[in-house]
A and B are shown apart, each in its own frame.
Chain A
Amino acid sequence: MSRSLLRVALLLLSFIGLTFVTALDQTIAAEQATEAEQLFVRRILPILNDKCFACHGNDVQDIQGGLNLRAQDALTIGGDTGEPLIKREDLLNSPLLSAVKREDANWSPMPPKDADRLTSEQLKHFSQWIEAGAVWPNASRIAEIQKSFADKWSIEDGWLLTTSGGLSAEWNDRRYKPEALWAYQPVRKPVTKAEGSGAIDELIALHVPDGMSVAGESEPATWLRRATYDLTGLPATNDEIRSFETAFHSNKDIAVREAIDRLLSSPHYGEQMAQHWLDVVRYADSSGFANDFERGNAWRYRDYVVRSFNNDKAYDRFIREQIAGDEIDPSDSENIIATGFLRMGPWELTGMEVAKIARQRFLDDVTNSVGEVFLAHSLQCARCHDHKFDPIPTRDYYSIQAVFSTTQLADRPAPFLPQENIDGFDEVKYLKRVQASHQETLQRLDDKSLAAAEKWHEENNIDPTKWKAALEQARENGIPKRRGLYGAARAIMLKDGVPEDQYPPRMLAWTPQEIGLERIAAKGLERLTWQLERYEPTALAVYNGPPLQLTAVTSPLRMRQEKTNAKSAPAEKTCILVGGDPFSEGDAVKPGVLSVLTSFPALAKSSTPQESNGQSNIKSNGEESSFTQLASRFPEPPTKNRLALANWIAHKDNPLTARVIANRIWMWHFDQPLAGNPNNFGSTGKRPTHPELLDWLAATLIENDWSFKALHRIIMNSQAYRRSSRAAAQSQEFSQELLESHYAVFKPRRLTGEEIRDSMLVFTGELNRRIGGIPNRPEINAEAAMQPRQVMGTFAEVWVPNPLPSQRHRRSLYALKLRGLADPALEVFNAPTPDFSCERREVSTVTPQVFALFNSEYSHLRALALASKVLKSSGTNDRDAVIACFQTVLGREPSEQEVASCLHHLEKLSAIESHKEYAPVKPPLEIVRDAVEENTGERFSFLEKLYSNADFVPDLQPSDCDARTRALANMCLVLLNSNEFIYVY
């Protein structure tokens, strides 16, 4: 048949189809549905559901472009343009096809988002369907066809899943490609020839392309540096490297094993792992947003994490404590502190926000956080609508949220534990002085207005009797802190309905300067209540209780019984919020979990051909069925809902939990995860590159009672981890990326900002290795420290470094982490913002890193300290000094050529330095800060006293050193900037 004849034939057929399908759909059995009908139901309708109806039919009030695809005869009526979507005379040039093909300028590309464009396969189906006449059966016919072909299509098109139920029937009918559901499959441990570390190499080898050779073993010095940074975040010292080399050459396997054991037992191990964990949970010492109030006691949660890793706490217990510690045993401070996890998101309630919305923000935050952190599912995608890509209905989202309906925020009493570091609390004296100064300011301004009030009455010829009575009454009532006597008297007059021109006005006799000062003092006192919490035996935590009716939170929240001014409110009921709107309640829901995981195992069993040849399931200890049972085991009354959720998450049969953490642990060693989006195991996340390995690691973790340290040992003893970063000679070309992704070479990584800073302190000997404790304030860039920063109604405090070097030179983990003021030197090296969970740190190479590392005062002072230390210990010989510097920073001896360049450099720098004179530095005791006052729109300045600077002991300064030390410091600065230091191989 010629092409044109075929077209005519098809046209005829399609007309017949169109007419007959509508007329005869009851008479032709569904099994005999035409190809075109089948194509529509099977291929086209799901696309329309996913990509078109949202704007063209679901909401008849809001139809885009006037095109309602759900309307009868939509294809012939079209939209605002008035053109039919299907050109019967020229089917393949139908506007509908042009729009989805996105190649005809006359028709807007559909769907509008580029990322949503139809795949080539979908376009092929569209063309076929249109070419076959664009048959569109009616609803009942669709249902019949779906029913009669369900089984056939299920095998071919993907799986139909059972969940708690979507908001629409169409969502429930979605099909999922089995490979997109990999993370819901029960974890199966592949059977391997080798056990332990050898299994890892075997499973990696499975995927190595033909012709790709793996690199040889890493040099012992390189390996030890790698392992030490991985496990502690600190450099291996020169002595450690030398003795490891000796041990390695006598028996390398034993040497490696012993080194790993030594590092795992270092208390710095917990610090390094805590840094990873805190990235994921978004740790910060402040609340963010308008006030950015400090969370004085958040540090106790940070230390809890460090302790948990150091004690090798089983991961399942770690999960339970963080989600439900208070429900397990509230008498143990450790459990209360652990629930700080639930409070990690930025949150505040100001008088400018609707209280219910703020409460909802907390619930949304905690729901999504639990999903991302433990289950690698961004649950917020299901907040307003059923999840677009994953089998997570909105109902599940609110069911998980219902678990938290009785969860209230509080800074709970929790006595300090013997294992907590409570040193340095005497620094509170500086805050007390700030407090006293603010109180003095308010008193002075109150006095000033009071004095001026007398004159005001005279000048305005107003009888002061009433005013005096009000003052008397205010004195009797007790003077409120902020407004003072003057303000209290005004409040009485206002309340009594005295006309405003009959008593003295606000801010009487204050200069614009003083108007600003009053705000700073009053708000400053409010801010201090949060900072003073740092030294109290309370923990950033939660408790179960009835909802509180709050309008603003301006001081740390206490448990309900202590909160006297909170009115009780009806118990919080959780409903599906239509469109995510807190004021639009849909169906009520009960506490629950991800429902797909309950129905999935049975489905997986029946749908997958027996894969178990060569594979074994995780050993069962007799509680086989309890994972599915746990899904519905939420107690009434809801006293331990969070524990029920935690038990479900931490159950060994939860297919997500072990995989998620195994993937993270792997990434912490290899700088690349197996599944590319550690917070997203859903269908849009990257699939695991080595699925068998991921399952093997997850199963092995559980077999080892969820021990992190056991898994580190197994991973680090593998050949993959011991491999060199230098590629082996290859029989064919492979890109570096490809070699890295197959673990054929070890992927080099850049040190993090924290590791760079901490390493420098190790080199100089300045690092205070004490574990845990209240946050410290190291010196950061002085301009950033002094940069005025607006917070609600005032300006945030200057960043004042701790007075003593030992306080300042702590690990970066302990530096006060304010959401509103990131340390620019860490930020520039990709320290993540605590606003979002960081699944994996970015690594970028940008110019401002040079400013931070090469130009900063901080680097220059570290270089000087290093030079001074080296010269003190290595005697007078320049050559020895150069060698000692290389050993300290790079863990190796310099080459002759390097020695020569360095000596030459030293000579020139000594000449320059010998002509310089340095004055000793003194930190300022007060600074003048400029700002714009909100009430006047005028600039004003104010003085901020930096009390602790009076006790400031500076680090070693150039003025303390001779020209030779200063010259050597230049060379040290160069080493601290070298690529060899910055990268780990």
Chain B
Amino acid sequence: MSTNPDANSQSALNDSAPLSRRRWLYDSGSSLCGIMASMAASALMADERKAATEPELPKPHFNVRAKSVIFLMMEGGPSHIDTFDPKPALSRWHLKEFVREGQQKSAMESGKRYYVQSPFKFIKAGQSGADMAENWSHLAKVADHLCFFRGCRVDSVNHPTAMYQMNCGNRFGGDPAIGAWMNYGLGSINQNLPGFIVFPEVSFPQGGSANWSNGYLPAHHQGTALRPHGSPILDLVPPAHVTTEQQRLNLDLLSSLNQQHAQEHPAHAELATRMANYELAFRMQSQVPELLDLSREDARTKAMYGIDQPATNSFGRKCLLARRLVEQGVRFVQLYNGTWDSHDFIERAHGNLVRGVDQPIAALIQDLKQRGLLESTLVVWCGEFGRTPDNGVRQGTAYGRDHNPNAMTIWLAGGGCNAGHTIGATDELGMEAVEGKAHVRDFHVTLLRLLGLDDNKLTYYHGGRFKQLSQFGGKVIDDLIA
């Protein structure tokens, strides 16, 4: 048929297939592959350094300020009603019972239910008068840097599928995450580090590491999960008994065997790639721990992030590390926090969770600002969905909320977002977005746009089809952009 994207033409395939096999190091540098094959190992090292300082990056589709993203993923589904979207009308309905039934309702949504008012008081923060529950006392100080979005809608009412959709665009997992797409589109600024780094909670989220998958994109775009304890990257260092000297001797022997082998197979380009990887891995062994070592940060900075307090230590460290990684040119850093899945006892659960993240997040925004990085760093705060204004009667009354795919609050900061504004609105009770409604795919398209990428151009040919983050296209939400 004449109107097909012609998969069989070379041009359609040029940006996918060959690169997936030929990339070296963590990213990019592909232009060097050809010459590498014919080079001696010593000369190779020199060029590798060159690549590290002067990466040839793909060109973004638009000129924008944002270069990096720090994505604060509040897994479990934070309640918009108890954080950034006050619903005073709920107090009139508080504990009023009703019954919901129907073929289109899940067991969780069905049966006897009752409304629950928010246990939190709200304030108007900053010059912009942003709505915030008053326990966000630190974030309130940077309120004018935030752009709130209340119009987002997702398709799934269960955690892993909703998480997959928020992270990867597809509810069923297996597709590339936003971080992978951005690295694919923009390249990695630092050739010696992964371009997509994830700090999971102490426990991995539902759906596991597929939440930071490279999907069908080349493997070096996969999110690298850095661990809070032990080796930050799996097997970054050899077993404890192996000395550096020993490691070097082994590498030298390997290199001599591999060189000899390469001479016998001069046309086999991947041999050189694999050899270079061993040297990079060796360097990363010392560089990555240094990067993650916070001992050189001054006490004031650590206190600012709340690292000196038990409640904020964990997320504070992640936020500070995120800033350091962005400074080092990491394209996309995702921090997990949770679980915000407060079906019961929301005052206690959300109260503790907010206490854990409020100060670190505010510090991150202030710190980025004072270092001149807020312009070039887009900060995103969201969960996989919002929560309902009502709760089900399970084992008696408990003031909590169920999952809600039709209403949630997302906020952005920095990176050219429309700071100081609240976009969209939910209904009187917070059940559904009614103004500025947009599907999560539109939100994704907007994130790409803020990073200078056009979702419709950022495609990858896989399995006989051009695929994209938004699955089949979406609209930029102009109001979120300054």
Which residues of A are interface residues toward B (Cβ below 8 A)?
A: 46-47, 50-51, 112-116, 119, 121-122, 157-158, 174-177, 180, 288-290, 292, 346, 350-356, 378, 381, 389, 483, 487, 490-491, 494, 500, 505-506, 551-552, 583, 677, 679-680, 682-687, 725-727, 736-737, 745, 748, 750, 781, 783-784, 787-792, 795, 819-822, 824, 828, 830, 833, 835-836, 839, 842-852, 854-857, 860, 895, 897-898, 901-902, 905, 908-909, 912, 916, 918, 929-932, 934-939, 958, 970-971, 973-975, 977-980, 982-983, 985
Contacts and interface: CB of A to CB of B under 8 A. Distances in A.
A856 to B, nearest CB: 5
B414 interface: no
A958 B174 CA distance: 40
Contact of B8 (A46, A552, A686, A970): A686
A490 B395 contact: yes
Contact of B345 (A355, A935, A980, A983): A935
Interface stretch (B43-51, B121-129, B197-205, B292-300): B197-205
28 contacts: A47-B3, A50-B3, A113-B473, A289-B207, A354-B105, A381-B465, A506-B395, A686-B7, A726-B265, A737-B18, A783-B230, A783-B231, A789-B208, A790-B205, A791-B206, A820-B208, A848-B234, A850-B277, A854-B238, A855-B237, A856-B235, A898-B260, A902-B253, A909-B246, A934-B339, A934-B342, A935-B348, A979-B257
B397 A500 contact: yes
Interface stretch (B141-149, B153-161, B319-327, B427-435): B153-161
Nearest to A915: B243
B257 A683 contact: no
B275 to A, nearest CB: 7
A38 to B, nearest CB: 16
Nearest to B271: A979
Contacts of B206: 289-290, 790-792
B370 interface: no
A198 B209 CA distance: 48
Given A289-B207, A788-B203, A847 B26 contact: yes
Contact of A833 (B210, B258, B271, B397): B210
Contacts of B344: 935
Given A114-B456, A851-B233, A935-B349, A175 B201 contact: no
Contacts of B25: 847
A856 B239 CA distance: 7
Interface of B is mostly: loop
B354 to A, nearest CB: 9
A352 B403 contact: yes
Contacts of A737: 18
Q: List 5 tightest A-B contacts by C-beta distance, closest first.
A: A680-B464, A835-B174, A937-B352, A788-B203, A937-B349
B5 interface: yes
Contacts of A351: 106-108
Nearest to A735: B267
B273 A845 contact: yes
Contacts of A912: 243, 245-246
Given A686-B7, A905-B249, A835 B233 contact: no
A916 B246 CA distance: 12
Given A970-B249, A979-B275, A836 B160 contact: no
A353 B104 CA distance: 9
B161 A932 contact: no
Contact of B464 (A685, A852, A901): A685
Nearest to A849: B277
B161 to A, nearest CB: 7
A979 B235 contact: no
Contacts of B165: none
Contacts, number: 331
A346 B224 CA distance: 24
Given A737-B18, A935-B345, 11 more contacts: A113-B473, A114-B456, A490-B395, A789-B208, A824-B234, A833-B174, A845-B23, A846-B23, A898-B257, A930-B202, A983-B265
Interface stretch (B182-190, B278-286, B359-367, B372-380): B278-286
Given A725-B265, A836-B174, A852-B235, A290 B107 contact: no
B2 A46 contact: yes
A937 B352 CA distance: 5
Contacts of A355: 106-107
Interface of B: 1-8, 18, 20-21, 23-26, 76, 103-108, 157-161, 172-174, 201-210, 213, 218-220, 224, 227, 230-231, 233-239, 241-243, 245-246, 249-250, 253-254, 256-258, 260-262, 265, 267-271, 273-275, 277-278, 280-281, 284, 338-345, 348-353, 356, 393, 395-398, 403, 454, 456-457, 459, 463-466, 468, 473
Given A725-B265, A830-B219, A835-B173, A851 B281 contact: yes
Nearest to B24: A845
Contacts of A113: 456, 459, 466, 468, 473
B274 A936 contact: no
A115 B466 contact: yes
Contacts of B209: 822
A684 B7 contact: yes
Given A783-B230, A937-B348, A979 B274 contact: yes
Contact of A846 (B6, B202, B219): B219
B268 A983 contact: yes
Contacts of A353: 106, 157-158
B59 to A, nearest CB: 14
Given A46-B3, A847-B277, A980-B257, A842 B20 contact: yes
A788 B202 contact: yes
Given A352-B107, A833-B210, A974-B254, A934 B348 contact: no
Nearest to B285: A855
Given A289-B161, A912-B243, A937-B351, A122 B3 contact: yes
Contacts of A930: 202-203
B4 A683 contact: yes
Contacts of A854: 238, 250, 278, 281
Contacts of A828: 219
Nearest to B22: A845
A820 B207 contact: yes
A683 B1 contact: yes
B208 A122 contact: no
- Among B3, B207, B213, B242, chain A packs the most CB atoms within 10 A around the CB of B3
Contacts of A983: 265, 268, 270-271
Contacts of A929: 203
Contacts of A849: 277
Contact of A788 (B204, B267, B273, B281): B204
B403 A936 contact: no
Contact of B204 (A174, A354, A787): A787
Given A352-B157, A970-B250, A855 B238 contact: yes
Given A112-B473, A792-B206, A487 B256 contact: no
Contacts of A860: 238-239, 242
Contacts of A938: 352
A882 B425 CA distance: 73
Which of B20, B76, B106, B345 has the most chain A CB atoms closer than 10 A to its own CB?
A: B106
A315 B419 CA distance: 62
Contacts of B280: 847, 850
Contacts of A684: 4-5, 7, 464-465
Contacts of B201: 932
Contact of A790 (B218, B339, B349): B339
A42 B468 CA distance: 31
A847 B356 CA distance: 34
Contacts of B338: 932
Contacts of B396: 490, 494, 500, 505-506
Nearest to B279: A850
Nearest to A857: B239
Nearest to B245: A912
A494 B395 contact: yes
Nearest to A389: B4
Nearest to B270: A845
